[in-house]
Chains A and B, each alone.
Chain A
Amino acid sequence: MAELRTETMTVNMGPQHPSTHGVLRLVLELDGEVIQSTNPTIGYLHTGIEKTAEQKKWQQVIPLVERMDYLAAQSNSLSYALCVEKLLGLEMPPRVKDIRVLIAELQRLASHLIWLGTHSMEIGAVSMLFYAIRERELLMNINELMAGFRFFPSYIRIGGLREDLPRGFHDAVNAFLERFPAKIDEYEGLLTRNDIFLRRTTGVGVVTQDDALAWGLLGPIARAAGSDYDVRRYFPYSGYETYDFNVPTAKEGDVFARYRVRMQEMRESVRICKQAIARITPTGAWACDDTRVVPPPKDKVYTEMEALIQHFLIYSQGFTVPAGEAYVPVEGPRGEHGTYIVSDGTNRPWRVKMRAPSFMAIQALPKLVQGGLIADVVAVIGSNDVVMGDCDR
C-alpha cells in the first residue's frame, strides 16, 4: 500500500454563504479541517457611495451614508453630520446633543441585537434570533414613530435634527428601557453558561491587544482584548463626557470575550439612554439657530419674504461649507466610525471618506482564523460583527 499523504484542499466559502453576513467570499485552504490560509474577497456590495456623495449637496449625502452600514445607519449619519458641523463651526443646543446621544445608543442596541441573534444562530442557538428580533422590533417602532422610517430614518441632519420629537416618544422609549434589562438577563440565561455555546466560543479567534490595535480593530474587538479605547471616552462628542457609563473590557480576546463585552455594552447603553431621556424635554430646540443651514420654521416661510427666500435657497442651491478638511470619529456599534471630509468651499463635498470598522475586521480575519477549524470561521465572522455594506461602501 502506498504511503499515506495529505494534500491541502481549497474550499470556496461564499459569496452566497448565509453566515457571511452579506456577500463576503472566502477562499480557504484546508488541511483536513484545519485552516492553512484564508483569502477574503470583498467588493460585491460596492455601490460607489463616496463617489456619489461628491455629486450631491451637503444635506443630500445623509441618506447615502446611512445606507453604508445598514445595521447602524444613524451612527454613520451622526459621524457625517458632526464632521460637517465641525467644518461649519456649529455648536448644537444641549437638547439636540442629548437626543443624538439617545438615538446613537438605541442604534447600538438595535445593531447589537442583530449581532446577537445572527451570531448565536450561526453557532447553533437558533431560537436566540427570534428573541433578539422581538426586542429590535420595538426599536424599529421607535424609529418609525420618530421619523416615519424604520431602517434609515435620516433624522439626524446637519445643524440638528429633522424636526421635533413626536408626541408619545418618551412613553415609547421609557417602555422599552423598562422592559429591556430583563430581556438581557434572559439572553444571558440562554447563552452565557450554555455548554455548547461555550465550547464553540472559548479560545476561538484569539487576538491580542497589540495585534488588535496594530490591525486597526478599534471597538469591541480591541476592548475584548484588553484595550479600553472607546471614542466616547477618549474623544467625547455630542456631550458624552456628561454621561455616567462604564467601558466594558475583557482580557481573553476570543469570541466569548467579544460576546461578554457586547452584552455589557448593551447594559451600559440602557444606562446612557435612561440618563438621556430624563434630560430631554418633550418639546424644545431641535436644531441650532444658524439660518445658513437650518431652514426657517414653516409658519415664517408662509408669512415672511426673507424666510421664504432662505427656505428656497437651502433646498435649491444648498449651503456652502468653508474650505478645509476634518475627520470626526464616533463610537459605532462595530467600532470607530469615522468621516473624513474635504470641502472646497462650495455647496458639494469635494471628498467624503468613511472609515469602516467592518473593512478592518475582514482584513484581519485571516489572522484570527489561522490554525483554527473550518467551523470556527463562522463563529469568528459572527463575533467580528461585519456588515458588508459597511465594508464595501
Chain B
Amino acid sequence: MDSLDAAAMDAPAIINALGPLVSGAAYEAAPSVDFATIYVPADRLVATCAALRDTPSLRFNVLAEVTAADYFPRDPRFEVVYHLLSVPNRLRLRLKVRASETLAVPTVQGIWPSAGWLEREVWDMFGIVFDGHPDLRRLLMPEDWEGHPQRKDYPVQIRKAAQTYEPLEVSEEEFKANLVRDRVKRDAH
C-alpha cells in the first residue's frame, strides 16, 4: 500500500478516467493546492458519483464531507462541495457543483448513505434544495427558524422574539370525544 502515490491522480487524469463512463458530461478541472478538484454539472452528478464509487481504479468509497460556500453576489451564487475519499486507492477528490436558490442539486444519498444529514445541513444553512432527498428538514436550527444563516446576505447579529405557545385548552365535550375516538382507534387494531 505504501507504494501507492497519493498524487498519482490529478484532476485531468480523473476526468479522463470518467470520460468513457459518464456520457455527455462536461467536467472542468479547477485549480487547487491540496488535491484534485473537479466541477461537475448538476444533471450528471449522480452518474458521476456512481462511476467514481464503482470503477476499480477510482473506488471512492467514502463521502467524507458535503458542504457549500456562498459566493454572493456571483451568479449562480452557491457551490456545493463534496469531499470524497478512496480508502483502497489512498486518494482524495473534491467535486463542486454550482447551485442557486432556484437551481437544485440532485441528492447522492443513493450512492453514499452518509449524504443524508450532510445535505440536510447544507439545506438548513444555505437553502440549497437537494432533489430527491427524502427528509429535507431543519437539522441544526430550530424547526420554525426562518432564513438560512450561512448565507452571506444573512445578518450576523439578529434578534428574534422568544416564541411562546398558548396552553392547550380543551373543553369537557372535546375531551370526552377524544377519549371515545382513541378507544375506537385502539379497538380497530
Contacts and interface: CB of A to CB of B under 8 A. Distances in A.
Interface of A: 5, 7, 42-43, 46, 48, 50-52, 55, 86-87, 89, 210, 213-216, 218, 227, 229, 234-235, 324-329, 336, 338, 340, 342, 350-351, 353, 355, 359-360, 363-364, 392-393
A52 B154 CA distance: 12
Given A214-B114, A235-B92, A359-B117, A338 B87 contact: no
A327 B90 contact: no
A87 B33 CA distance: 7
Nearest to A231: B85
B140 interface: yes
Given A216-B112, A340-B81, A364-B114, 17 more contacts: A5-B189, A7-B189, A42-B139, A46-B141, A50-B150, A51-B150, A216-B62, A227-B87, A235-B92, A324-B31, A327-B94, A336-B64, A338-B64, A340-B83, A353-B65, A363-B116, A393-B140
Given A50-B150, A359-B117, A325 B32 contact: yes
Contacts of B161: none
12 contacts: A43-B142, A89-B33, A229-B87, A234-B90, A327-B92, A327-B94, A338-B64, A351-B69, A359-B117, A359-B121, A363-B114, A392-B140
Contacts of A327: 34-35, 65, 83, 92, 94
A261 B53 CA distance: 28
A227 B149 CA distance: 37
Contact of B65 (A87, A234, A338): A338
Main SS at interface, chain B: loop
B132 to A, nearest CB: 18
Contacts of A329: 64
A204 B61 CA distance: 25
B33 A342 contact: no
A5 B188 CA distance: 12
B156 A215 contact: no
B76 interface: no
A216 B114 contact: yes
Contact of B156 (A51, A216, A351, A364): A51
Counting chain B residues whose Cβ lies within 8 A of the other chain, the interface size class is 35 or more
Contact of A326 (B34, B63, B150, B189): B34
A213 B62 contact: yes
A342 B65 contact: no
Which of B35, B64, B112 counts the most chain A CB atoms within 10 A?
B64
Nearest to A217: B114
Contact of A51 (B81, B94, B112, B149): B149
A213 B142 CA distance: 30
Contacts of A364: 114
B64 A55 contact: no
A340 B6 contact: no
A336 B31 CA distance: 24
A355 B156 CA distance: 22
Contact of A43 (B67, B90, B141): B141
